[in-house]
Amino acid sequence: MADRLPYGSGRTSPQRRAIASMAEELGRAFTIDDLERALRRKGKRAGVATVYRAVAAMEESGWLERVGVRGSKALYARCDSPAHHHHLVCTSCGIVLATDCPLEFATHSAKAEHGFTVTEHDVTLYGVCRDCRPGPELGEDGD
């Protein structure tokens, strides 16, 4: 698990390697369109379908994670947290931070109150990171 390759044991090609290194370079949450545009800016054209398949393969290998959504588009990011966790996604700069699971209590009470067994959940917390936090002129006056 340690030295994971972007495509695991799957197929690679120079184009797929370029897509993976751009995903790494972006370093923040991106949609498939963002990644395709970033590649194009670097003169490394890849069709959206190619990028889509590459991203699906990288998600499959666990190298890339789906961290949330922007509008109707899935957001992806590199994330190395090995244990079960969730993501804090800054809607301003796109930085992605890992956070512990907040749902233990909800899972227990679903069982206790409703006899409902939770088998999976999906939580992303969206907000504004420390660096993007509005300054005092926008209504806060510091600590």
Kindly report the backbone phi and psi dihedral angles of residue 74, in degrees, each rounded to the nearest multiple of 5, phi listed first. Answer: -70, 140
Which CB atom, from 35 or from 46, has the smaller least distance to Zn ion? Answer: 35
Strands across the sheet containing 96-99: 96-99, 86-90, 124-127
Q: Does 132 bind Zn ion (CB under 5 A)?
A: yes
Q: Does 65 bind Zn ion (CB under 5 A)?
A: yes
User: Helix (H, G, I), strand (E, B), or coil: what is residue 78?
Assistant: strand
Cβ atoms < 10 Å from Cβ of 72: 6
Smallest gap, in angstroms, from Cβ of residue 21 to Zn ion? 20
Smallest gap, in angstroms, from Cβ of residue 127 to Zn ion? 9
Q: Does 90 bind Zn ion (CB under 5 A)?
A: yes
Q: What residue ranges bind Zn ion (CB under 5 A)?
A: 65, 79, 81, 90, 92-93, 95, 98, 101, 103, 129, 132
